[in-house]
Each structure stands twice: as C-alpha cells, then as structure tokens.
C-alpha cells in the first residue's frame, strides 16, 4: 500500500529558480528549473513553480485543472465561447479551470503557483479559435 507523504509547497517552490520574463514562445526546456513536481496525481500531477510574464494558451482534454496562487498575483484568462474571461488570483486563492477550456496566465510582478494538472496538455501560442 502506498504511504502518505507530507510535502511542503513553499519548500519545493523555493527550491526552483524564478523565471523573470516568461513569454508564450518560451521553450519549455528554458523553464525546466522553474517548475517542480510535487506529486503524481491521477492522470497527471501536482506541480509548483515561480515566474513572471505571460504563458501560452493551454487546455486539458481529460479533466479540470486546479490553479492556486501560493504567493503573489496572477491573472488567469479563460477562453469561453470566443470571449476572454479574466480572473485575478491573489495569494491563497484558487480557481478550477473546466476540462477542455483554453486558458493562459498573465503575471506582471511574479507569482509562486501550484497546479493540479491532468495530462495530456494541449499548448498553442496564438489565441485559439473556439
């Protein structure tokens, strides 16, 4: 039987390297040390990291994603029926991104973030046509 393990989110995030200027076209390998895996979970994992800047569009066709800001602020932008819905998340706030909804992040100052992400994940630099 698997054993439960205590994980310090802040300790894990603080072991990563802050990435100061994320862009939608930033190659994933440039951000390898920005994110860490906290745990495997169902068909994906629980991840944490720290960065500033803007992400590419992404969606998860096999489940909802939980996004939690541990410290700082991030704008979560959902693409619903062709319209962008902006959700401002501050420290210790979270949102659930519904399955198959395109979304991205705008982080002007910097954020420490934790996500529970199902796999696979689709990525797109340009705004998707929904």
* Sign, Cα dihedral of 67, 98, 103, 83: negative
Would the pTM of this model clear 0.75, i.e. be above it? yes
User: Any idea what the CATH number is for the domain that residue 37 is in?
Assistant: 2.60.120.10
Q: Containing domain of residue 107, as a range?
A: 9-118
φ/ψ bin of 92: left (φ > 0), alpha (ψ from -120 to 50), beta (otherwise)? left
In a domain, 27, yes or no: yes
- pLDDT tens per residue, range 39-82: 999 999 999 999 999 999 999 999 999 999 999 999 999 999 99
In a domain, 3, yes or no: no
Q: Which residue has the tokens 């989110």?
A: 9
Query: pLDDT grade, residue 1 (50/70/90)?
Result: low
The pLDDT value recorded for residue 130 is 63
Total structural domains in the chain? 1
The pLDDT value recorded for residue 2 is 66
In a domain, 40, yes or no: yes
């Amino acid at each position: 039987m698997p054993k439960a393990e205590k994980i310090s989110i802040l300790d894990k995030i603080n072991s990563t390297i802050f990435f100061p200027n994320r862009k939608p076209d930033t190659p994933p390998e440039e951000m390898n040390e920005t994110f860490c895996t906290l745990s495997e979970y169902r068909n994906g994992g629980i991840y944490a990291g720290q960065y500033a800047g803007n992400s590419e569009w992404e969606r998860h066709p096999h489940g909802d994603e939980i996004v939690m800001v541990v410290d700082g602020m991030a704008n979560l932008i959902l693409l619903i029926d062709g319209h962008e819905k902006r959700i401002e998340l501050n420290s210790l706030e979270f949102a659930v991104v519904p399955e198959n909804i395109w979304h991205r992040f705008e982080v002007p100052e910097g954020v420490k973030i934790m996500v529970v992400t199902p796999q696979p994940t689709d990525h797109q630099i340009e705004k998707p046509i929904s």
